[in-house]
Amino acid sequence: MALFLLSLLPYLVFTLFKLKKAIHMLQQNYYDESERYFLWILKNPKKVWLELDVFFPCLLVLLLTRGKIQAILFGIFYTLLAAEYHVQRNKEQIKKPLVVTSRVKRLMLTLFLLYLVMILPMIFCFYRPLVAYYYLYLGLIAYLAYLFVKLANFLNKPVEKCVFLYYKKKAIKKLREMNIPVIGITGSYGKTSSKNILGDILNVKYNAFITPKNYNTPYGLILSINQYLDKFEDYFIAEMGAFKVGEIQETCNLMHPTYGILTTIGEAHLESFGSQENIQKGKFELIESLPQNGFGILNGDDPYQVNYNLKNTCPIYWIGVQNKEVDAYATNIQIDKNGSKFLVKFKDQDEFFPFQTKLLGKHNIYNILSGILLGYKLGMSIEDLKRGVSLIKPVEHRLELKRLGDIHLIDDAYNSNPVGANMAVDVLGMMNGEKFIVTPGMIELGSKQYEENYHFGLAIAKKVDYAILIGKEQTKPILDGLLDASFDRKRIFVLNDVKDAFPLIHKLKTKEDVYVLLENDLPDLFNE
């Protein structure tokens, strides 16, 4: 019995490694909201079912042995698995590590109890002739770790619901007592950039609180209110994300926004929304939740906004670049490596006003215009607006220009949509120097994923000198687009890890001025 228990130590180490990875994937899939984690399991059979312990049936050989040799072989088997698993995980590029939140701790406790229930009867009713079968059974429950994580998450749902309701009531009470006007921001693309831009503009005159990081779900907003919001704020700028119809409405029921900005409606999360019509309907839930004493700001260049039958009579103001029949439009746009310059014309003003920003990219002009118009309608002067725009800080990983040794890096790692990706390539094309792109392509575009990545490849072919694609399977459509555009095959490189891209660039570059666009950096759950 003592030897049996000792042989379980390497097994437990391996199982903990595997459970940690499974919990990491669950967290990145929003704790299986809308069955995202389960769908990820179905779409990634190699990652889930072909891990090292797929060979656990080899433990059948233990039926041919007796005594200590069984424990020794079992211990060696899982020692080797644990060691190799540890080496492999260390080699992986973990972009966003597992965050051990209170929710994760509760999940771990439930998993511990589940495994205890499955293992304790075997220990208390230990029968030596069945040891080989015990080992096979243990191998099976380690192999099914991803499913046990899903089961534990399901069992925890009632507890998590109670925890959520407790903090939700606390947040609602705090918001009601503080009576701060809420500005909601949603859209398929540009939410985080628009949020940060608006915050920088409003903070010239007001105290504006913006939701930190990517806290754009009801859970994240509740956390922001309870932990970060204070009584000195004049406005609360809330980013609102969604994967299906009804989620923005749920967030609005919590936040009760007075003002709203809709950035752009596109094909992001088409897979989870189900259709373009559902995306359109879901995003407009923000604007249709606004009160009559508030207003919404829409994009007059976006056909999905212009052609929508709005079910709200609150005031609506429009921005545009192509469309001049709007409340504020930008013209004479000039973009270079130092930033962007443009003129703004307000509907109720006769003159054009010059603005300057450090930000790159045409899509950022739209985000800035929304912030300018909202600030204007809230009483900010033109001079304050100009100052606010000049003070806008580049948003991390969103067309952020950096210096990496002797390389100019255009970091657009957090962008993952067709509109933004093509605009980023246009920005790269404007630079004077040798141009590289490093990208794994775009995801979660449903049936349009191949088509959009293929067209992305066509766009890249016109603007860059070298294309470095990350992930053979994921980037196949981009490769097809590049080759169909007659891009030089010798200038295309396919790698498995983005970390290998920059040593390769240093070998390939032939000029002093080198610009590298890092376009999209997929979450860990999409690593090949």
Write out pLDDT tens, residues 45-84. 988 999 889 999 999 999 888 888 999 999 999 999 999 9
The Cα 502–Cα 86 span in angstroms is 25
**Residue-level pLDDT at 361:** 80
pLDDT of residue 95: 67
Q: Nearest-CA neighbor of 21 among 146, 166, 153, 111? A: 146
Q: What is the pLDDT of residue 414?
A: 77
pLDDT of residue 448: 83
Averaged pLDDT for residues 239-255: 91
What distance in Å separates the CA atoms of residue 116 and residue 488, rounded to the nearest whole number?
58
State yes or no: pLDDT of 415 exceeds 70.
no
Distance CA 24, CA 19 (A): 8
| Element at 122 (helix H, strand E) | helix 102-124
Position 255: which residue type?
Answer: M
* Backbone region of residue 240 per phi and psi (left: phi > 0; alpha: psi in -120 to 50; beta: other values): beta
- Predicted pLDDT of residue 43: 86
Higher pLDDT, 141 or 189: 141
CB 186 within 8 A of CB 263: yes
Which of the four pLDDT bands, split at 50, 70 and 90, describes residue 368?
very high
pLDDT at 189 (0 to 100): 82
**Which is more confident, 521 or 261?**
261
Let me know: does 270 contact 448? Beta carbons within 8 Å: yes
pLDDT tens figures, 193-223? 899 999 999 999 999 999 987 788 898 999 9
Q: What share of the chain is helix, strand, coil (3-state, %, to 5)?
A: 55, 15, 30
Question: How much of the chain, in percent, has pLDDT values that exceed 90?
Answer: 68
Q: Are the CB atoms for 353 and 337 separated by under 8 Å?
A: no
Looking at residues 241-245, what average pLDDT do you find? 86
Q: What is the mean pLDDT of residues 10-33?
A: 94
Average pLDDT, the chain: 91
* Strand locations in 6-155 (E): none
Calpha distance 161→497 (Å, rounded): 38
* Predicted pLDDT at 148: 97
pLDDT at 388: 97
Q: Which of 92-106, 117-131, 456-470 has the lowest mean pLDDT?
A: 92-106
Give the pLDDT band of residue 402 (cuts 50, 70, 90). confident
Mean of pLDDT values over 355-384: 94
Q: Residues 459-493: pLDDT tens digits?
A: 999 999 999 999 888 899 999 999 999 999 999 99
Is the pLDDT at 513 greater than 90, yes or no?
A: no
Which of 503, 495, 501, 506 is closest to 517 using CA atoms?
Answer: 501
Q: How many angstroms from the chain centroid is the CA of residue 139?
A: 34
236 vs 92, residue with greater confidence: 236
Residues 260-291 have pLDDT tens digits of 999 988 777 767 787 888 989 999 999 999 99
Residue 444: is its pLDDT beyond 80? no
The end-to-end CA distance of the chain, in Å, is 42
Q: Give the confidence band of 93 by pLDDT, cuts at 50, 70, 90.
A: low
**Which range is most confident: 175-189, 259-273, 409-423?**
175-189
pLDDT at 271: 72
Residue closest to 266 by CA, chosen among 278, 255, 276, 252: 276
Flag whether pLDDT at 422 surpasses 60: yes
The pairing of strands 259-262 and 208-210 is: unpaired
Q: What pLDDT, on the 0 to 100 scale, is given for residue 237?
A: 97
Which domains can be identified in the chain, with CATH numbers? 2-155 (no CATH), 180-390 (3.40.1190.10), 400-526 (3.90.190.20)
Check residue 399 and give its pLDDT. Answer: 84
Stretch (H or E) spanning 260: strand 259-262
